[in-house]
Amino acid sequence: MNDDKGEGAERPADVPARSRDAEPSYSDDEFKEDLRRLLEDERLLTETAANLPDYARDLLSRAASGEISESEFLREVFVGDCPNCESRDTVDCDTV
């Protein structure tokens, strides 16, 4: 039941309305620390991605975009192509 003159989605019954005067769920210091951690995580991720070989960066990009499935990503990372015939139709280390 939304009292905002029809704007926005209706709130589920079990989710209480947030008062405009409600205290923040955590302090400014906690917020700043969370933000610092997120920025550090982003920096580390960017640095790591920049140091990956081209094929690994391409593989991650294809997985993130949905171009390849989770199982195909795992197959590429953990199994790879058949060392005997170079087939990409490998399932695991023992099945071709």
pLDDT tens digit string along 12-67? 666 666 656 666 677 888 999 999 999 999 999 899 988 999 988 999 899 999 99
- What average pLDDT does the structure give for the chain? 78
pLDDT of residue 5: 47
Give the amino acid at 68. I
The span from the CA of 84 to the CA of 75, in Å, is 17
The span from the CA of 73 to the CA of 65, in Å, is 12
Residue 77's pLDDT band (cuts 50, 70, 90) = confident
Distance from chain centroid for Cα 20: 32
Where are the domains positioned within the chain? 28-53, 66-96
Q: What is the pTM of this model?
A: 0.47
pLDDT of residue 67: 96
Distances (CA, A) of 76 to 21, 47, 88: 52, 23, 9
